[in-house]
Amino acid sequence: MAEAPALRPEGTETPALRLEGVTCTFPSPDGRGSTYTAVQGVSFTVAAGEFVSIVGPTGSGKSTLLNVAAGLLEPSEGRAFAFGQLVNGINPLAGYMFQAEALMPWKSALENVAAGLEFRGVSKREAEERARPWLARVGLDRFGDRYPHQLSGGMRKRVALAQTLIVDPKIVLMDEPFSALDIQTRQMMENELLDLWSADRKSVVFITHDLEEAISMSDRVLVLSAGPGARLIGEYPVDLERPRDVAEIRMTPHFLDLHREIWGQLREEVLKGYAQTKLK
């Protein structure tokens, strides 16, 4: 049997996500008509099935880039493409896991997970039937009828993860999703995320300020400079073998080499960012 002909030769496959010269300028919070440029001329691509982390000091506009990729924010300059399509309005191929609490507090865990399917026209009953295995997959099958305030921070993140993944987004955008968790819960969640990800290899853009988290999870780490006008200043492939255990991999010599190399560059930016916040 002949395979369907490949539309593109190997190697020039359409990237899952491509940002081209993205610049985002906001009105300054002091309201005097001055402006603040968060990110300046940022371009990068994420291949299909690739796990990319973006690290940078606080206030370097990491979330801004994610919002552009999600279509929640229109960049002042530049464009974003998802599988070759210009992102204009909400990016329908992307799922977004937010840093802050994003669950609907008036819906139970099960209803929250089912919401995305319901929005896509699936009947409520069927959506909840399909949400059940997802709750089980994040280890919360017994907590379906709990409301978000009745769950712990880690449990809420799991619900949010299931909620994001159930609609099968081709691109998953994650904005420091585990930053509010304690270190043990966090490493558990990181491993769970890697497990889920390895099952069907979606493209992931993972924002974090934690370099160890970035290296242990990703295929590639991008480094943003300190804001304002943050630019991409470094790109590091992470050639650690998979599957990984995020806690164990941190002890390997190769991990430490990578960490030392990237930290060498990131530290300067962190110091710059720190100096700027002190000046204000």
Partner 1 sequence: MAVARTKRLPSRPVILLLQVAVLIGFFLLWHVLTATNILSPFFFGTPLAVLERTWNDFASGVIWYHLGITLLETALAFAIGTVAGIAFGFWFARAPLVSVVFDPYIKAVNALPRVVLAPIFALWLGLGIWSKVALGVTLVFFIVFFNVYQGVKEVSPVVLANARMLGASNRHLFRHVYLPSALSWVFSSLHTAVGFAMVGAVVGEYLGSAAGLGYRIHQAEGVFDTVGVFSGMLVLTIFVVVIDVVVTVIEKRLLHWRPQEAQTTNAQG
Interaction site with partner 1 (CB under 8 A): 70, 72, 90, 92, 94-96, 98, 100-108, 115-116, 118-120, 147, 149, 163-164, 167
The least CB distance from residue 54 to partner 1, in Å, is 18
Specify the residue, 66 or 193, whose C-beta has the smaller distance to partner 1.
Answer: 66
The least CB distance from residue 116 to partner 1, in Å, is 4
Specify the residue, 144 or 273, whose C-beta has the smaller distance to partner 1.
Answer: 144
Pairs from 229-233 (Cβ < 8 Å, separation ≥ 24): 229/37, 229/38, 229/39, 229/40, 230/38, 230/39, 230/40, 230/42, 230/56, 230/60, 230/61, 231/39, 231/40, 231/41, 231/42, 232/42, 232/43, 232/44, 233/265, 233/269
Q: What single string gives the DSSP state of each residue in 166-211?
A: TT--SEEEEESTTTTS-HHHHHHHHHHHHHHHHHH--EEEEEES-H
The least CB distance from residue 44 to partner 1, in Å, is 21
The least CB distance from residue 91 to partner 1, in Å, is 8
Specify the residue, 90 or 275, whose C-beta has the smaller distance to partner 1.
Answer: 90
Specify the residue, 163 or 218, whose C-beta has the smaller distance to partner 1.
Answer: 163
